Structure 1
Amino acid sequence: MTRSARAFWFKSPGECEIRAAALPARGAEDVLVRTLFSGVSRGTETLVFSGGVPESQYTVMRAPFQEGEFPGPVKYGYLNVGVVEEGPLLGRTVFCLYPHQTRYVVPADAVTLVPGTVPPGRAILAGTVETAVNALWDAAPLVGDRIAVLGAGMIGCSAAAILAKIPGVRLELADPDPSRAAVAEALGVGFTSPERARGDCDLVIHASASEAGLARSLDLLAPEGQVIELSWYGDRRISVPLGENFHSRRLSIRASQVGTVSPARRRSYGERLALALDLLADPAFDALITGESAFDELPAVLPRLAGGQLPALCHRITYS
């Protein structure tokens, strides 16, 4: 029997819509999932909406269950929480790297159980926290380190929330938007502007996706300090100030990207995602969910998120 669902598509740059989707027959090792919540990854999905994914990165940027191709039409997304209605794990709440869709069929090993300690509505942050976990495996912060996080978006806030649990760290979350101070307070992290951030840092996590932010990150480093670059610039070219103190202070910039598990840790993708879900037992992460809309409203909501008329960290989508 062919069953149907409804899915959100990026039709072309600047256009999006909801389409009917036929569900494939479920195999013995597959699960049928009914979506409870999905999350809009604002930075990545607004880049897709605007057509800003460079052609050279079409393969790298491909989501696990993407349909279509960049720049569109493309079904794209990766923050989905639902309940298994058929197959193994029947009745369990699961997280999946699946786009915005009312129901879907995937192999059972493509979903991760949401712990009972984590509300389903918060579990949509798993993919974001997983990115932060990978970045901190790359960074390897130590007890007592002096650390700044520049950029209080979803990734920066997630990294700061985890770093705040390390004993003895001097930690600041910096962003030019003063409204992010309330989020920092909820996470238990000190907040400041990039201009007022304290220097002499052993480590700076940069997630502002701005040229000025990267330059300021280098300014804040102590000798031998390191910037972990988490920003995704799409098709933009940026300048990096490698003059002045960069060589004399032996500074470094290291890329970190969630597509590969950090070689510093011998973990599988599944183990990394399970760890991220365990960390989400902390209710402080609720501060990262700054808005909510129904699935049917998503074609109208996404342009507002992309245009900045609807400020948000993670915008949660609900399904009836």
Structure 2
Amino acid sequence: MKSTKGLSAQPHEAECFDLETPQPSKDRSLPDHTSSNALWLEARDKPRIRTNELPPISGENARVAARYGAISRGTERLVSAGEVPPSEFDRMRAPFQSGDFPFPVSYGYSVAGVVEDGPEGWIGSRVFCLHPHQDHFVVPVEALRPVPETVPLERAVLAANMETAVNVVWDGQIQPGDRVAIVGAGVVGLLAAFVAAAIPGTLTYLIDHDPSKADVAAALGLIFSGPESAPEDCDVVIHATGSEGGLVTAIDAAGFEGRIVEASWYGTRAATVPLGAAFHSRRLQIVSSQVGQVSPSRRARWSRSRRLDLALSLLEDPRLDVLISGETPFAALADTYLDILMDPKVLCHRIKY
């Protein structure tokens, strides 16, 4: 999950970069927006659209018109329910979050859009930004990442979750030939399995209690099983269900001296970890993974911006469209937001601006 999930919920560091492709010149016919609409949580499970005034464009700032966004259901459900622990108020802040935890707060971290105004060379650029749900916004250009021409904006909204998945795979230290199990077929679990399966020689299993996820797994070329037939003796197990039962399944699936990566975030809930029976004799490792920091194995050389660029490039595969389970117009989001958060069948729910 992102802390926020990832970004999960940590602000990504800003890093200047050069665009690799020529950008269109400034088009004065583009709309000159001075206000915007944003989704706010006024109180526990009380979403509302607020109108905000936009700051003027100056210096190295750009105004972006959102085209698509995505709801990170796991993290946003906890935020909407007021389940961010006070100890995590600072670490869980999303980039460009307005308001403070618990409420009122404008939260989210996935928007793909087009630059309407800003520095020369940026106008018309297709970009991704870790930003709350808002139809227009002004941010420093260093916070914008170019969307590859081979990635449609409709799919680019998966970038934040893909970034989390990449970090999880790094934390798992998955190597060619490893036997890998991912417990939990949510968006992060599916993307982590997708990335792990691309490592040569790996045998990657996706485990979930919902048999309907088998179709999604098949579309991504993954081996699916329920918890009752989960594989054993795995080199690496990634747990992404956010439940104690899922963690038990993950521990059972790990082989001798196996590595278990805990990718779930439990908010204010306590989780019982079964450390009895053969846990110690099997010399198992449990490590946490959180997207707010680059994995230690890459941190000396990889910035968050470089990691996000990698995530965007990995979205070229059209099979990933199977992760988009629904779409809602932004104008209707306040009325449907809670239903989306509470629906366990939802994978990535896209917002259309």
Shorter-normalised TM range: over 0.9
Cα deviation per residue 1:166-209 (whole Å; 9 max; x = unaligned)?
12211110111111111111111011112211101000010000
Matched, 1:18 2:53: no
Equivalent residue number for residue 151 of structure 1 = 184
Q: State the 4+ residue runs in structure 1 displaced beyond 4 angstroms.
A: none
**Pairwise CA distance, 1:51:** 1.2
Matches of 1:103 and 1:206, distance apart in 2: 36
Equivalent residue number for residue 264 of structure 2 = 231
Cα pair distance change 1:142/1:2, threshold 3 Å: closer
Equivalent residue number for residue 18 of structure 2 = none
Q: Is the 8 A contact 1:145 1:202 kept in 2?
A: yes
**Pairwise CA distance, 1:42:** 0.5
Matches of 1:259 and 1:133, distance apart in 2: 12
Cα deviation per residue 1:141-163 (whole Å; 9 max; x = unaligned)?
11111110000001000001111
The percent identity for this pair of structures is 50
User: 3-state SS of the aligned residue for 2:261?
Assistant: strand
Matched, 1:115 2:148: yes
Within 5 A, what are the aligned runs for 1:71-150?
A: 71-88=102-119, 89-150=122-183
User: 3-state SS of the aligned residue for 2:185?
Assistant: coil
Equivalent residue number for residue 306 of structure 2 = 271
> Which amino acid counterpart does residue 46 of structure 1 have in structure 2?
R
C-alpha RMSD over aligned residues:
1.1
Equivalent residue number for residue 311 of structure 1 = 345
Equivalent of 1:29 in 44, 60, 65: 60
Cα deviation per residue 1:89-114 (whole Å; 9 max; x = unaligned)?
11010000011111000000000000
Equivalent of 1:183 in 216, 228, 234: 216
**Pairwise CA distance, 1:251:** 0.2
The unaligned stretches of length 5 or more in structure 1 are none
Q: Is the 8 A contact 1:9 1:19 kept in 2?
A: yes
Task: Count residues with an aligned counterpart.
Answer: 318
Within 5 A, what are the aligned runs for 1:151-170?
A: 151-170=184-203
The unaligned stretches of length 5 or more in structure 2 are 1-31
User: 3-state SS of the aligned residue for 2:282?
Assistant: coil
> TM-score when scaled to structure 1?
0.97
Equivalent of 1:252 in 285, 288, 293: 285
Q: Is the 8 A contact 1:68 1:75 kept in 2?
A: yes
**Pairwise CA distance, 1:311:** 2.7
Matches of 1:282 and 1:150, distance apart in 2: 23
Matched, 1:40 2:71: yes
Q: Is the 8 A contact 1:211 1:239 kept in 2?
A: yes
User: 3-state SS of the aligned residue for 1:178?
Assistant: coil
